[in-house]
Amino acid sequence: MVTARRSFVGQLPVERLKRLAQVLEGTDGQIDYEIDFGRDELGAAYFALRATTSLTLLCQRTLEPFQMPVKLDTRLGLISDESEESGLPPGYEPLLVEDNRVDPAAVIEDELLLVVPLVPVSPQSEWPEDGHDVGLEDVPPEAPEDNPFAVLRELKKH
């Protein structure tokens, strides 16, 4: 694929990506992708991925599902051994290739898993209507401790 500079365009159902489905609230929809294989000016083999989709996540503030639009545009340097990672040009992420094979669906899934936030929060979610949120102001004040320097502070005032 690299030598032939092959390109692929297609769609992939979100529900087909089992690991990604485990972190989503819903698996409806599809991923539109473009993949290019080739070599750059320096001779480095690459896998270029452009993909767009909308992922259904559960907002951790409102506990309501929301759509997170995703647009990927990444170039992965194809390496057969981890020691080759340091030889990749700047801007390339390493992609370890075993037996000279790449599973495009697995690469797309990996890249999408990387963009899913650890704690999803809908950009449209708002703080509670009354403007009151549990925070530091709700923590009861601590009783003042006996400060051994309080006596010095009092002496300094005089």
Domains of the chain, residue spans: 7-129
Q: Inform me whether the pLDDT recorded for 126 exceeds 60.
A: yes
HSE-CB at 72 with a 13 A cutoff on CA atoms is 27
Residue type, 9: V
pLDDT range class, residue 3, cuts 50, 70, 90: confident
Q: Determine the pLDDT at residue 56.
A: 95
Q: Determine the pLDDT at residue 4.
A: 87
What are the helix and strand counts (H, E) for the chain?
3, 5
Q: Of all helices (H) and strands (E), which one includes residue 105?
A: helix 104-115
Considering the entire predicted model, what is its pTM? 0.74
Most confident of 16-20, 60-64, 123-127: 16-20
User: What's the average model confidence in pLDDT over 126-139?
Assistant: 56
User: What's the average model confidence in pLDDT over 69-98?
Assistant: 92
Q: Of all helices (H) and strands (E), which one includes residue 154?
A: helix 150-157
The Cα–Cα gap between 104 and 98 comes to 13
User: What number of other Cβ atoms are within 10 A of residue 75's Cβ?
Assistant: 19
Q: What is the chain's mean pLDDT, rounded?
A: 86
